[in-house]
Chains A and B, each alone.
Chain A
């Protein structure tokens, strides 16, 4: 089943859908599912993805900022502390110098016995060339390492810090005692001047810091997440509401339009009917009032003629009204068909006789060729006569009076085929189906001036189909018309020449 069938009627988005299609051409089945969803669901899905992505990006950025901020704060406090403690001891250090052993011992004392020691677990002093000038681990002193980015930044005057997993070679000492430490690099300046003579790298424990960070991160994620969820719910809610309103309005509009269309059709129907009915009515009125005129001589032929017109037009009127009623019965589903077993020959003969008024003038030539097998059919006699009347009336109206009309009946397997053929103006191939529509009058000039409600064939079709048959037309412009319909055989009818009632 087409996914789009599940959608309430709304215009397909072209641009968006095709873009999505282009992106998802690999995942075709998924795309089909997607385009089958309603506007609200699509929006919910898309905005969920967008907001989730946004939330992750913002959350990540925010936490990074927080992390950076906390680190910087911590580091800069400690940095200035370190500088103020360490720098005096190294004040006369020039580039290229080494730190004396005494000095190193003094620096050790800083770590163990002063305030500094509480904050910092270790520190190193670097020379601008990457040589370790001091470390609590004397074995590191004098070794040179590649100047890391952070060290380089410090040598340029910036204080930088990060939480390190101590995986670098220079962290041998620290690694033996800790798994993670906050590393901070800060420039060492000779006291009084701004000349950078090296850098101090110091290490702080991270536990509390990390706890604080985790707490901040958690809180910021909570806020970002919460805001996102709120926004999402709000948006989806709004869109859902808007979508429901649109659907409702659309339904109302469709309903109103359907109602208008219905009213318009009724209007057309009524005015069309009135027009058709007026002709026989007008003739009846005209001829009857004429006959009532006082000072006029009527020969008996004229009297007969006028009375005949009144009789014929009354019959016409009655037929039109019956057609109209049948049409509304068809629509209401109450068209009464009561089939019974009847000999086809009798049925057709009776139908032809009943149709005489339609064929009557100037003795039209009508031939009838019965089915050799003389079958019995299951049909509502009166209704089939009505169908035959309609077909014969049409043939008479749409063909020249001097051309014959031929009726044929043929046996076909489990049913009977009846054909009414004329040599009249014919029906264009494009209209062969349309002629069975109610009020169809055809496009040709002949058709539009012919009298009648245009309901005959529609009613005939309803009758034939209610009996389990089919009715159709074969024709071409100027080539005459062959109207054919089928009737079911009466069950008990043996297919032989001497048929007996069941």
Chain B
């Protein structure tokens, strides 16, 4: 497998050094930048497999960086947030980040999270499912990892794709919320990540995101893809 390349963005040099050392020790290639502008530039200039992004940056902040990168790439993004600032976490997720790590973190937490997010974006553990699935106006090509809605191709981040896949595998059947979270992110996450990602998915797939036909909520239980009303 070719080396995966991670872009690290933090304005505190000691953090850059810390994260860089750990990721390099795990065999990733790295690029380190200290400002948001540089981060966007590097993400646009070369192939990146993952971005580790600090929220608190001078100049343009982490949220802005996330938004700008999402304009041209679905590269997975992990935010570095401060503990106790849940609103940052939700805001980041809304803007397209895939996951988050709160400071202070241990080396183990960081490396585990990086590995998990990268795994998510690569592995398609669908085993035995037909390569192409059509639900209403939605068409998912699992082999090519291509999704179209109403004929138009839709660009999804790895997390969104993974969530959609889970729902698609169980198309027409309700998937329990906790199961969904565990499948896509892992244990120990609260429902915020799910809620925000569903919202993003609806924005991209539905004709009317406010009145969804495809990704439907079953109150108190979970979500279902398609199915009758």
Contacts and interface: CB of A to CB of B under 8 A. Distances in A.
Nearest to B106: A289
Contact of B25 (A279, A292, A293, A449): A293
Contacts of B12: 279, 283, 451
Contacts of A282: 15, 103-105
Given A274-B84, A309-B14, A449-B11, A296 B25 contact: yes
Contact of B18 (A278, A287, A448): A287
A286 B106 contact: yes
B101 to A, nearest CB: 11
Contacts of A332: none
A287 B22 CA distance: 10
Contacts of B15: 282-283, 286
A135 B165 CA distance: 135
A211 interface: no
B100 to A, nearest CB: 14
Interface string A76-120: 000000000000000000000000000000000000000000000
Interface in A301-343: 302, 309, 313
By size class, the interface of chain B is: 20 to 34
B14 A283 contact: yes
A290 interface: yes
Interface string B91-113: 00000000000011111101000
Contact of A285 (B11, B22, B106): B106
Nearest to B18: A286
A452 to B, nearest CB: 13
A354 B179 CA distance: 57
Nearest to B83: A278
A309 B21 CA distance: 14
Nearest to B14: A283
User: Main SS of chain A's interface residues?
Assistant: helix
B84 A290 contact: no
A445 interface: yes
A289 B108 contact: yes
A286 B107 contact: yes
B107 A293 contact: yes
Nearest to A302: B21
A291 to B, nearest CB: 8
Contacts of B108: 289, 293
B107 A290 contact: yes
Contacts of B103: 278-279, 282
Nearest to A297: B25
Contacts of B22: 290, 293
A285 B22 CA distance: 13
B58 A290 contact: no
Interface string B59-73: 100000000000000
Contact of B104 (A275, A281, A451): A281
Given A293-B25, A296-B25, A449-B11, A286 B84 contact: no
Contacts of A278: 82-83, 103-104
A289 B107 contact: yes
Given A275-B82, A278-B83, A293-B25, A286 B105 contact: yes
A287 to B, nearest CB: 6
A446 to B, nearest CB: 9
Interface in A432-467: 445, 448-449, 451
Contacts of B106: 285-286, 289
Given A278-B82, A279-B12, A445-B58, A286 B104 contact: yes
Nearest to B104: A282
A302 B22 CA distance: 12
A445 B14 CA distance: 20
Interface in A140-185: none
Nearest to A282: B104
Of listed B12, B18, B84, residue having the most chain A CB within 10 A? B18
B82 A283 contact: no
B82 A285 contact: no
Contact of A449 (B14, B58, B83, B84): B58
Contacts of B25: 293, 296-297
A50 B105 CA distance: 78
A297 to B, nearest CB: 8
Nearest to A449: B58
A287 B107 CA distance: 8
Contacts of B82: 275, 278
A279 B107 CA distance: 15
A284 B104 CA distance: 9
A285 B83 CA distance: 14
B53 to A, nearest CB: 16
Enumerate the 3 nearest inter-chain pairs by beta-carbon distance, A residue then B residue, closest first: A282-B104, A289-B106, A289-B107
29 contacts: A274-B84, A275-B82, A278-B103, A278-B104, A282-B103, A282-B104, A283-B18, A284-B104, A285-B104, A286-B15, A286-B18, A286-B19, A286-B104, A286-B106, A286-B107, A286-B110, A289-B106, A289-B107, A289-B108, A290-B18, A290-B22, A290-B107, A293-B22, A293-B25, A296-B25, A297-B25, A309-B14, A313-B14, A449-B58
Interface of B: 11-12, 14-15, 18-19, 21-22, 25, 58-59, 82-84, 103-108, 110
Given A278-B104, A296-B25, 6 more contacts: A279-B103, A281-B104, A283-B18, A286-B19, A290-B107, A309-B14
Interface of A: 274-275, 278-279, 281-287, 289-290, 292-293, 296-297, 302, 309, 313, 445, 448-449, 451
